[in-house]
Amino acid sequence: MQAIGSTIPPSLHELRSQVARLERATGRKALESVQLFGLPQIDRHLPGGGLSLGALHEVAGAGPDTEQAAVAALMVAGLVARMQGQVLWVTAQRDLFAPGLASVGLHPDRLLLSEAGKDVLLIMEEGLRHAGLAAVVGEVGGRLSLTASRRLQLAAEQSGVTAIALRRSRRHDDPIHAEPTAAVTRWRVQAIASPPPLAHAADTPGVGPPLWQLDLTRCRGGVPATWIVKACDAQGYLHLAADLADRPPASQQRLRIGGG
């Protein structure tokens, strides 16, 4: 597991893991293992020092991208690309474009697709019961009820397979995405205006690396936060945006820069 940053005293960490042990079901295989974002600022913010494996996480787009969840799909692909093993991606529509996912490091040989139509949750659970997978990504179109999400969470805990619910909706910023679920973390990711490709020559045509605003809107045992990051690179790693051309409004600026 990831070493905790020196800002958190060891006793606090001990207490946290005790609470985590109490909270979580017994017999869990991968209690403490986490998937690193590879970004100390984010990893340090998350309880456990990274995205916990064998748990349910939610990722949604924002604004017009709530429908296509294109940025969210890229972020999830980058995340699972860095795990070991096969990934089951359960879809409801046929719009996933594999070359795009490959560009953030998710090789097509590792990606098992399953078109589930209305049975996305059912197929996700089926996949989560199979310990041979690295992760199960499900494109959840409608509501994700507390019961349904708890089933996924329990299945993920038992097998140690990470579950990611990629929330989509035809309605922009659908309020049902804010309803409570049993997910351990909930993320919202959206593209924001990117700086010019060459910082010293703002008039140069072309596009630079995309910028994403990554909101951790809910986190069990943690607090919400927002980061501005550069999109996944070819290995699926995020990078913190060093200099921002267009800073977000002050109300959104809860940028946490890791200390120490």
Partner 1 sequence: MTFLHDGRRQIIAAVNASARGLGLHAGMPLAHARALIRELSVEPATLAQDASALAELAAWCLRFSPFTGADGPDGLWIDATGCTHLFGGEAQLLAHLVERLMGVGIAARAAIADTPGAAWAVARHAPDSLHVVPPGQTTDAIRLLSLAALRLPAELIEKLSRLGFDQIDQVIDAPRGPLTLRFGAELVRRLDQATGRLFEPLVPVLPPEIVAERLPFVEPISTAEAFVSVIATLARNVCEELERRSLGARQLDLVFERVDGSHQIIRVGAARPARDPRHLARMLDERIDQVDPGLGIDAMQLVVTLADPLNFTQGSASLLQDRPCDPDIAILVDRLVNRLGAGKVYRFAACESDVPERSVRRVAPLSPPTKASWPAGLPRPSRLLSPPQPIETLAMLPDQPPAMFIWRRVRHRIRRADGPERIQAEWWRNEREMRASRDYWQVEDQDGRRYWLYRSGDGVDPDTGDISWYLHGFF
Nearer to partner 1 by Cβ, of 17 and 114: the residue is 114
- Find out whether 182 and 149 touch, Cβ atoms under 8 Å: yes
Q: How near is the Cβ of 214 to partner 1 at its closest, in Å?
A: 13
Residue 122 or 255 having the CB closest to partner 1: 122
Strand-pairing partners, residue 89, are: 113, 137
What phi, psi does 121 have (nearest 5°)?
-65, -40
Complex with partner 1: residue 4 or 191, whichever CB lies closer: 191
Q: How many Cβ atoms are within 10 Å of 181's Cβ, its own excluded?
A: 24
**Least Å distance between CB 7 and partner 1?**
28
Core vs surface per residue 108-129: b (16+ CB within 10 A) or e? eebbeebebeeebbebbbbbbe
Residue 132 Cβ, how far from partner 1 at the closest point, in Å? 4
Query: Residue 155 corresponds to which amino acid?
Result: A
* Residue ranges in contact with partner 1 by CB under 8 A: 29-30, 33, 63-65, 68-71, 73-74, 77, 85-86, 88, 94-103, 107-109, 111-117, 119, 122-123, 126-127, 130-133, 160, 190-194, 196-197, 205-208, 210-211, 234
With a CB cutoff of 8 Å and minimum separation 6, the contacts of 35 are 50, 51, 52, 53, 79, 82, 83, 162
Decide whether 12 or 131 has the Cβ nearer to partner 1: 131
The C-alpha atoms of residue 119 and residue 101 are separated, in whole angstroms, by: 23
Nearest distance from residue 100's CB to partner 1, in Å?
4
Of 9 and 64, CB closest to partner 1:
64
As measured in angstroms, the least distance from the Cβ of 259 to partner 1 is 29
Of 21 and 172, which CB lies nearer to partner 1 in the complex structure?
A: 172
Closest distance to partner 1 from the beta carbon of 149 (Å): 21
Cα 113 from Cα 239, distance rounded (Å): 28
